[in-house]
Amino acid sequence: MNSLVALPTNSVKNLTKSANSMFATGAATGAATGASSSWNTPLMWFIGLFVIGLIVFSYYYRNFVNAIDSLTDQMNLWITGNGSPPEVKQENIPVAPPTPPQDVATAPHSGIEKVVDRILPPAKEVFTVSKNDFSYYDAAPLCKALGAELATYDQVKQAWQQGADWCNYGWVKGQMAVYPTQKSSYEELQEGPEDQKGVCGKPGVNGGFFDNPELKFGVTCVGKKPSQSQHDANAIAAGSTRPLTASGIEFEKKVQLFKEGADSLGVLPFNKEHWGS
């Protein structure tokens, strides 16, 4: 048995209108979307090409400007006969390589310079004033009065390396009092009395810092050494430039006495046949 039910006429009409409305709406939407896509695509292409063009232009900007300048100069030269002056190309001139610093520092002196160095004394020399009558506050003015300046410990050390040898404290910068002693002088003192062996310290630069600046010492200066006075010459001849203790003075007196009678001391031969070994 068929159970078909007939639809009302109004319902059929409503369904038809609804379908037509949905189709029209879809068609309008598709048309709008297509129109929008057709409008955006050329704009995006234009923007992309513009950006690429800017990048290429910025990369070749200098070449582009040079080309424009060259073209302008050629046109100006063709029209007026006056263009930019031609560029002068400098030739590659060979240049000697720089001298290494170590070669400059150790460059050998010429023969004339060696002769001058031997004949003329150095401009500055370390020297000491032996009188132990000066405080540290007197040291710098004393050196200034002699046309020099107060020496440093390092300068005294350098003088010792060059052979300086005086057994007398002298003020130097830094409130130090020092003196140089050579090995030969030290060994000579070791052959004397016991209390005289350490009177000049040890080989090297002796002395150091003193807390009391009022102590009385000599003064060590650096500069042009004053000319030798007769007093200094007499002191060197008498051998009085080295301080001696009481027993040291007595020892030196005996040495001098025995030197005077050396011929009558009676030295024996090595054996019956030979005087020496």
pLDDT at 89 over 60: no
Residue-level pLDDT at 177 = 95
pLDDT digits (tens, 9 = 90+) for 14-63: 445 554 554 444 444 444 445 455 556 777 888 888 888 778 777 777 77
Quote the CA–CA distance of 189 and 191 in Å, as a whole number: 5
For the segment(s) 122-259, the CATH number from 3.40.50.620, 3.10.100.10, 3.30.1330.20, 2.40.50.700 is 3.10.100.10
Instruction: Give how far the C-alpha of residue 111 lies from the chain's centroid of Cα atoms, to the nearest Å.
Output: 31
- Judged against a pLDDT cut of 70, whether residue 248 lies above it is answered with no
Question: pTM for the complete prediction?
Answer: 0.46
Are 7 and 14 spatial neighbours (Cβ–Cβ below 8 Å)? no
Per the DSSP assignment, residues forming a β-bridge with 223 are 125, 148
pLDDT of residue 211: 93
3-state secondary structure 33-85: HHHHHHHHHHHHHHHHHHHHHHHHHHHCHHHHHHHHHHHHHHHHHHHHCCCCC
